[in-house]
């Protein structure tokens, strides 16, 4: 029976050699290929760090904090799963060491293990397995993909590897398979692809009792058959189970690269699943071609303070890729470090762009540069999309430069300012702890008819995801609107401002919520799409 615990199939994806090999993309791509064969697929991401969730980490640590419908602040790989599999995940799809240990320690304090010595094996490993199985059961899926973050050999990963080893033994050889992603580097002098790091990481995995079934080798180029054969021999897998994953122009190409090498068919065979229809990948191929082959070009600036690590803005990058495919236009992202705009004449670099995104963020660093970019967009009629902090700064910029409220600011940056037009949300004032207590997740937004926001969404009511502590101060709502910045989207009580827009501007729209988190291939975020359309229009394309 589909979704029963007995019949659940597990695909465990591990990583070797180094981090950042794109395990998440490999795992999501495999998921997509199984989904294209009519299977129901879900995913769990394991992050072996001690944080209970990603919400308390700086984006420079692990990239953007991805927000789910239920308000979970999760690892960005959850975004890859949502996008590739077109599903909505929740807090339990992200397991961290912090979550597991906290729960086990709570149980110990309650007396659940009275008389026992509470240990990593079996108490922690049992809790890990319970969480994995529960998730597969809840999702009622045929296949659950489990991605283990980090690299095999990391101390933190050990309990998780032991748990999935046990899961394999308990569920049976056909029901749990291991995909190991590794790196095959090239030494520039000889130009030869080196398999030794892969051999070593598989050796490490085997020493824990896990024999990989499939090896996905990341490399600059396609692996020739002799290299595949060598890996197969040393790592004890059939040659067809060694898969080459060369650098791709778009991550959305990866499912096609894996399909060509028969990965999904091999997985099904290995798991004893027969009779699945051949996948229908026409729409996906068209989608990828549209991204890669668009002749028209557009420059969209992302002005932020974490631009050194592009993953900090991953969902914006992906939302723009989704727009690119939809509108058949190549989008070049121009990364602008916000502080760089403060230097003399540097704001001029924005003259070359066709549209600007001011993304979310925390803290005052970078604020001034972002405000400069907003003034530039407003005055020069450059299409602008402000998101979360970008929304709040658009309001501040308008109050300062159009309404003449020079002291307008956010209480986040200056609690003593003369005009705190952005203030703490009620309920945030008395909080003592910092984890998981912002206004988070999906909330209803009501859109006024006859506005740009309404034309963009074509709906009176939408749901989008949030992650903020501050909001537009209700004391200023009316004055701001009267001065010309319209709040075209509000919460159900009309008390929280969700979308702001200027009338006499081609596209100056900002949202308190994060539209990028719900953008999907073939279904781009409406606000990003509207920004790109406005940018194309102003460029005359």
Between CA 251 and CA 228 the distance in angstroms is 22
**Closer CB to ligand GLN, residue 367 or residue 400?**
367
If one asks whether residue 72 binds ligand GLN (CB under 6 A), the answer comes out as no
If one asks whether residue 360 binds ligand GLN (CB under 6 A), the answer comes out as yes
Phi/psi region, residue 212 (left: phi>0; alpha: psi -120 to 50; beta: rest), is: beta
CB of 40 to ligand GLN, least distance (A): 33
If one asks whether residue 362 binds ligand GLN (CB under 6 A), the answer comes out as yes
Angle between helices 367-380 and 389-401 (to 10 degrees): 70
Which residues contact residue 491 at a Cβ distance below 8 angstroms, ignoring those fewer than 6 apart? 443, 444, 445, 446, 498
**Closer CB to ligand GLN, residue 161 or residue 510?**
510
CB of 94 to ligand GLN, least distance (A): 18
Residue 476 CA to its chain's centroid (Å): 34
If one asks whether residue 366 binds ligand GLN (CB under 6 A), the answer comes out as no
**Cis, peptide link before residue 490, omega less than 30° from 0:** no
β-sheet with 408-410: strand ranges across = 408-410, 419-424, 470-472
If one asks whether residue 358 binds ligand GLN (CB under 6 A), the answer comes out as no
CB of 312 to ligand GLN, least distance (A): 12
Q: Is 388 a catalytic residue?
A: yes
Interface pattern 168-207 for ligand GLN (x via CB under 6 A):
----------------------------------------
If one asks whether residue 467 binds ligand GLN (CB under 6 A), the answer comes out as yes
CB of 361 to ligand GLN, least distance (A): 5
If one asks whether residue 361 binds ligand GLN (CB under 6 A), the answer comes out as yes
Indicate the SS3 state at residue 231. helix
Tokens of 76: 């960005």
If one asks whether residue 113 binds ligand GLN (CB under 6 A), the answer comes out as no
Helix H or strand E segment including 486: strand 485-490
Using the rule CB under 6 A, give the single segment among 138-146, 179-187, 451-459, 465-473 that binds ligand GLN: 465-473
Of the candidates 24, 19, 526, the residue with the CA atom closest to the CA atom of residue 314:
24
If one asks whether residue 388 binds ligand GLN (CB under 6 A), the answer comes out as yes
Compute how many residues bind ligand GLN; rule: CB under 6 A: 10
CB of 237 to ligand GLN, least distance (A): 44
Of the candidates 314, 181, 152, 187, the residue with the CA atom closest to the CA atom of residue 245:
181
Between CA 481 and CA 498 the distance in angstroms is 13
CB of 453 to ligand GLN, least distance (A): 19
If one asks whether residue 470 binds ligand GLN (CB under 6 A), the answer comes out as yes
Q: Which of 180, 316, 466, 514 is catalytic?
A: 514
Asked if 319 and 528 touch (Cβ cutoff 8 Å), the reply is yes
**Closer CB to ligand GLN, residue 159 or residue 360?**
360
Q: Which of 253, 388, 412, 505 is catalytic?
A: 388
CB of 337 to ligand GLN, least distance (A): 17
Indicate the SS3 state at residue 121. helix
**Residue 201: C-alpha distances to residues 16, 65, 166, 243, 318 (Å):** 5, 29, 20, 16, 31
Start-to-end C-alpha separation, the chain: 53
**Closer CB to ligand GLN, residue 5 or residue 463?**
463
One residue of 469, 496, 528, 533 binding ligand GLN per CB under 6 A: 469
Helix H or strand E segment including 32: helix 23-35
One residue of 468, 486, 505, 533 binding ligand GLN per CB under 6 A: 468
E strands, 160-213, are 176-183, 186-187, 192-193
Between CA 477 and CA 485 the distance in angstroms is 10
Asked if 96 and 51 touch (Cβ cutoff 8 Å), the reply is yes
Using the rule CB under 6 A, give the single segment among 45-53, 187-195, 219-227, 461-469 that binds ligand GLN: 461-469
**Closer CB to ligand GLN, residue 63 or residue 360?**
360
Using the rule CB under 6 A, give the single segment among 96-104, 173-181, 398-406, 464-472 that binds ligand GLN: 464-472
**Closer CB to ligand GLN, residue 439 or residue 452?**
439
Residue number with the smallest Cβ distance to ligand GLN: 360
Asked if 29 and 259 touch (Cβ cutoff 8 Å), the reply is no
Largest CA distance in the chain: 75
**Closer CB to ligand GLN, residue 67 or residue 223?**
67
Reported as half-sphere exposure (CB side, CA atoms, 13 A), residue 430 has a value of: 2
If one asks whether residue 507 binds ligand GLN (CB under 6 A), the answer comes out as no
Residues of this chain, 397-416, that bind ligand GLN according to CB under 6 A: 412
Contact set with ligand GLN (CB under 6 A): 360-362, 388-389, 412, 467-470
Residues annotated as part of the active site: 388, 514, 516
């Amino acid at each position: 029976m589909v979704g029963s615990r007995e019949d659940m199939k597990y695909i465990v994806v591990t990583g070797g050699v180094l981090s950042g090999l794109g395990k998440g993309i490999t795992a999501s791509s495999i998921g997509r290929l199984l989904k294209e064969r009519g299977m129901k697929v879900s995913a769990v991401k394991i992050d072996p760090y001690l944080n209970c969730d990603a919400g308390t980490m700086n984006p420079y640590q692990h990239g953007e904090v991805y927000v789910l419908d239920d308000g979970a602040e999760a690892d960005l790989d959850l975004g890859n799963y949502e996008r590739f599999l077109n599903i909505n995940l929740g807090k339990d799809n992200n397991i961290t060491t912090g979550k597991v240990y906290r729960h086990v320690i709570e149980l110990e304090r309650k007396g659940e293990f009275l008389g026992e010595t509470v240990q990593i094996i079996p108490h922690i490993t049992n809790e890990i397995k319970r969480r994995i199985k529960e998730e597969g059961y809840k999702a009622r899926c045929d296949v659950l993909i489990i991605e283990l973050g980090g690299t095999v050999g990391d101390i933190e990963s050990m309990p998780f590897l032991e748990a999935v080893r046990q899961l394999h033994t308990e569920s049976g050889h056909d029901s749990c398979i291991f995909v190991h992603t590794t790196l095959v580097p090239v030494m520039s002098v000889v130009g030869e692809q080196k398999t030794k790091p892969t051999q070593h990481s598989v050796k490490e995995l085997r020493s824990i009792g896990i024999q990989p079934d499939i090896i996905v080798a990341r490399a600059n180029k396609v692996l020739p058959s002799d290299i595949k054969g060598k890996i197969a021999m040393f790592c004890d897998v059939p040659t067809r189970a060694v898969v080459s994953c060369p650098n791709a122009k778009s991550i959305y190409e990866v499912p096609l690269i894996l399909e060509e090498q028969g990965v999904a068919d091999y997985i099904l065979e290995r798991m004893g699943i027969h009779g699945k229809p051949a996948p229908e990948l026409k729409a996906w191929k068209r989608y990828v071609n549209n991204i890669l082959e668009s002749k028209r070009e557009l420059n969209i600036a992302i002005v932020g303070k974490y631009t050194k690590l592009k993953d900090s803005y991953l969902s914006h990058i992906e939302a723009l890729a989704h727009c690119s495919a939809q509108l058949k236009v190549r989008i070049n992202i121009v990364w602008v470090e916000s502080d760089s705009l403060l230097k003399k004449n540097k704001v001029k670099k924005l003259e070359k762009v066709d549209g600007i995104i001011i993304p979310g963020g925390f803290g005052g660093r970078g604020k001034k540069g972002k405000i400069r970019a907003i003034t530039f967009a407003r005055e020069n009629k450059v299409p602008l999309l402000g998101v979360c902090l970008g929304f709040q700064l658009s309001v501040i910029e308008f109050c300062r430069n159009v309404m003449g409220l020079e002291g307008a600011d956010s209480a986040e940056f200056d609690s003593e300012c003369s005009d705190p037009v952005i203030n703490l949300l009620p309920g945030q004032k008395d909080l003592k702890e910092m984890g998981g207590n912002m206004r988070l997740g999906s909330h209803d937004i009501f859109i006024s008819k006859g506005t740009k926001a309404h034309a963009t969404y074509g709906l009176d009511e939408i749901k989008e995801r949030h992650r903020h502590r501050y909001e537009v101060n209700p004391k200023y709502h009316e004055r701001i609107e009267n001065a010309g910045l319209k709040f075209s989207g509000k919460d159900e009580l009309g008390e929280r401002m969700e979308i702001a827009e200027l009338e006499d501007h081609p596209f100056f729209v900002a949202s308190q919520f994060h539209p990028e988190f719900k953008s999907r291939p073939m279904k781009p975020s409406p606000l990003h799409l509207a920004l790109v359309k406005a940018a194309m229009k102003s460029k005359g394309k």
